[in-house]
Structure 1
Amino acid sequence: MLSALRAYFSFPNLKGRAFHKSFCELLCLNALLLCGLSESLGASCETCSCYYCLGPCCVNPSVGPNGCSGDFATTVSGLYWTTHQDGMEFAIENHVAVRIINPSSDEIEKLNQLVAADYVTPSPKWNYGFKVGASYRGCHDGWDIGAIWTHYTNTLSTHKNTSDDVAKVLLPLWSAFAPAQGEILFARDIDAKWKLGLDLIDIPLGRAFWLSHCLSLRPHIGLRLAQIDQEYDLKHKGGSWSPRLNPTQDPLSNEVELENRFKGIGLRAGLDSVWHLGCGFALCSDLAASIVYGRFRVHHNEKNTLAMEPHSETKFLETRESFRASRAMLDLVLGIQWATTFCDCCYRLAACLAWEEHYFFHQNQMWRVNRIGDTPIINGPSENLSGENVFFQRRGSLDTQGVTLTVSFEF
């Protein structure tokens, strides 16, 4: 190759089209020379058999199997994730003694003193989900375009009961009920259930290429469609909902129903990297961010049900809210991958075991409504309209994380 280059320089310079042709030939010879040096220097990077088709040669070659008319790829993933969200505390467990039947006003007022108190939130739980996707890598510089759907659901339930412990009571944080005694609201039994439904559709346009002998990158841009549905149900019993003699109150059960739904579409961009260790093994990492514009729909209902015949219901809170907003989302993946090619580099099989983190900013838009300043009544709790409602909103963020096993096949 060097002798050919020296022979080239021995030719006389030409003018016009001949000079242009000679200059192009010179560039091609230089590229071939650099490619040969790159292959000789990087021969020690992969000592095993062929685990990738095109190595880091020339100008950032595309990553993938050899194909004359483009390549297709399918991806299937199994998820085992958990989820958390800020602002989901539903009660305070207070260590103050209050009689279960007909507590006095002095006893109830002691609930203002928080003694060794703990905030109670839904207990974390793990659940399964899946991803499915397909993509096409064309002949235009190895660009690829595809779509991947992520589906994940989870239900977190927590049941707190202090009926057998006089020295413990529960202070509800989401109820706007004004009890007959007109004092501090408390309960003996609370059942909380939080349901999450997450659906994401990503449509990326990207290109995977070799940056060095053992490192490949894939920058990508595209769209994200997101639908995040939340339901939060709280059931209160005992305490302020217990039967009373003075003032008179029948036994009641209380239910608070909240819905927080978001649906939108936005832009997404990120960078995937594969750090090849040899023999098909590699470290893989993905980082992406998106801004999704969509609509929030928030519903809030509360009702009391008579715990005896005729089991009549009294609804005293019903609100609706709908607004549009943009929300940021962040995705992070870190794991270990194994890949191989076969049939003369016409097919590629890869598997990746990774830890995933997804962060959804300011998804909690649910309102807390509480009654303060209510006074005792005589004619029953359904007519207790004293006091005023206090509204509070804590805009918490939602996150999901867990283990993901992905298998992909390119052909």
Structure 2
Amino acid sequence: MKQVMKYIIPSILLTMTSGFAAEQNESCAPDPCCPPPCPPKDPCAKCAQLWPTCGPDWIITPNAGPCVSNGADIFITTEFIYWTVRQDSLGFAFSNQQVTGAITNGTEKGSVFHPDWRLEPGFKVGIGMMFDCDGWDLYANYTWLRTRNTKESKIPKGNLTLTNLGWITSFGQLLTSVEKTSAEYEHDFNVIDLELGRNCFISQCLHLRPHFGFKGTWQEQRIDLTETGTAFSQIVNAVGNYDNEYWGVGLRAGLDSAWHFTRSFSLVSEVAASVLWGQFDSEAKVFDQNASTNLFNVTLNVEDTFHTLKPVLELYIGLRWEDWFCCDEYHYSLEAGWELQWWGGQSQFMGGTETRWGDLGMQGLTVKLRFDF
């Protein structure tokens, strides 16, 4: 009996040990053509942390990549954006009923006319590189967006009259009555972001990417206003051209996060803030044109240039799907979400005796594709 037990017990222990080892390696089991299943245990080795269950246990914030095996550690991104832009203080006319004497309940309420805001398509493109040690990455991104809006208002029905909102005190000063007014708004938006960050797991399903770097931008806003009315029994067009050019550069910092509820799907969010030192160059030119003689009477031609600090805030939330293929040699992801940006004090159009100050806001759909190789 002792002889039998001497052979049975080691056999049972050997079987249990083999089964336990097989279970441990099951999650990292390779395809038949792939190299060893689990990444190296050296935290500075390439792809030491493809997935938190395969990495060394003693790393506090393991690298979350995404990285690929035997690659160049380069990744590219392309994004389609479908945003709407809102610039404060761009009301250009209003309808109003002037009442003399007793005010009755039948007085009509007027309204203010703004540019015809709508969604506009744009894009972002980026390129980045991951460093071997500790999972740091360097990423540059360019954003392009063009906005073109036109709005026209005519004499309202009823007892309302159309009135200029007072962009420039001399704008339309010869007009005794206004028949229609229109506004054409244009915005050219260009931004470059450069950031250094590290994507790391803080739990098995949540990883964060703090980053810092620089933001640069050059933008041009333009609004052309036209009023048609009567002055001294003649039809007159009052025209105002306003330009607001801006460039800025400064520091930027933020935090990206992703919560994985499966290996491939995750909820993502991004927040970033910047402070930019930049220059505004605002111009205003106002003139009246006689519709019959086509003669011009320039009433204002002025320019204002100054430097100042301005803040920027960016927010994003979305859903991401990602996967690796060809034995983890390539990685790609697709995500879609809603993005908001706030640019403080971007409206510096000249109006009256001072600028028409206001903030620039934009929001809309962002669809992003990323490829790592």
Q: Compute the TM-score of the two structures, normalised by the length of structure 2.
A: 0.80
Distance 1:166 1:354 in 2: 45
> 1:95 is matched with which residue: 89, 94, 97?
97
Match of 2:79 in 1: 77
Given the superposition, is the C-alpha separation of residues 166 and 303 from structure 1 closer, same or farther in structure 2, using an over 3 Å criterion? farther
> 2:267 is matched with which residue: 267, 283, 286?
283
| Partner SS, residue 124 of structure 1 | coil
Match of 1:347 in 2: 330
| Partner SS, residue 393 of structure 1 | strand
Alignment pair present for 1:204 and 2:215: no
Match of 2:151 in 1: 158
1:243 shift after superposition: 4.5
**C-alpha contact (below 8 Å) 1:69/1:139 kept by paired residues:** no
Distance 1:216 1:186 in 2: 64
Q: Compute the TM-score of the two structures, normalised by the length of structure 1.
A: 0.73
Given the superposition, is the C-alpha separation of residues 330 and 251 from structure 1 closer, same or farther in structure 2, using an over 3 Å criterion? same
Distance 1:285 1:365 in 2: 32
Deviation per CA, 1:200-235, whole angstroms, max 9, x where unpaired?
A: 100110111111100111110011111121001100
Deviation per CA, 1:347-400, whole angstroms, max 9, x where unpaired?
A: 11100101000000011111212xxxxxxxxxxxxxxxxxxxxx2433210011
Alignment pair present for 1:299 and 2:283: yes
**C-alpha contact (below 8 Å) 2:172/2:238 kept by paired residues:** no
**C-alpha contact (below 8 Å) 2:275/2:311 kept by paired residues:** yes
Match of 1:4 in 2: none
Match of 1:167 in 2: 159
| Partner SS, residue 394 of structure 1 | strand
1:118 shift after superposition: 1.3
In the TM superposition, 1:305-324 aligns within 5 A as 305-309=289-293, 311-324=294-307
| Partner SS, residue 338 of structure 1 | strand
In the TM superposition, 1:122-201 aligns within 5 A as 122-162=115-155, 165=157, 167-173=159-165, 174-175=167-168, 176-177=170-171, 179=173, 186-201=177-192
Given the superposition, is the C-alpha separation of residues 78 and 179 from structure 1 closer, same or farther in structure 2, using an over 3 Å criterion? closer
Deviation per CA, 1:116-149, whole angstroms, max 9, x where unpaired?
A: 1212111221110000000000112111102100
Given the superposition, is the C-alpha separation of residues 361 and 178 from structure 1 closer, same or farther in structure 2, using an over 3 Å criterion? closer
1:115 shift after superposition: 4.6
Deviation per CA, 1:163-183, whole angstroms, max 9, x where unpaired?
A: x746222110224146458xx
Match of 1:33 in 2: none
The letter of the residue matching 2:121 is Y
Alignment pair present for 1:254 and 2:216: no
Distance 2:302 2:232 in 1: 30
The letter of the residue matching 1:319 is V
The letter of the residue matching 1:187 is V
The letter of the residue matching 2:162 is L
| Partner SS, residue 213 of structure 1 | coil
1:264 shift after superposition: 1.3
The letter of the residue matching 2:232 is R
Distance 1:142 1:244 in 2: 74
1:83 shift after superposition: 0.7
| Partner SS, residue 251 of structure 1 | strand
Distance 2:322 2:172 in 1: 64
Q: How many residues align?
A: 319
Distance 1:256 1:180 in 2: 14
Percent sequence identity over matched residues? 28
Given the superposition, is the C-alpha separation of residues 197 and 256 from structure 1 closer, same or farther in structure 2, using an over 3 Å criterion? same
Distance 2:70 2:337 in 1: 32
Match of 1:225 in 2: 216
Greater strand fraction, Structure 1 or Structure 2: 2
Gaps of 5+ in 2: 1-22, 28-37, 39-48
Q: What is the RMSD computed on CA atoms of the aligned residues?
A: 2.5
**C-alpha contact (below 8 Å) 1:54/1:64 kept by paired residues:** no
Distance 1:282 1:69 in 2: 24
| Partner SS, residue 68 of structure 2 | coil
Gaps of 5+ in 1: 1-38, 44-49, 98-105, 370-390
**C-alpha contact (below 8 Å) 1:237/1:253 kept by paired residues:** yes
| Partner SS, residue 236 of structure 1 | strand
Distance 1:227 1:140 in 2: 35
The letter of the residue matching 1:263 is W
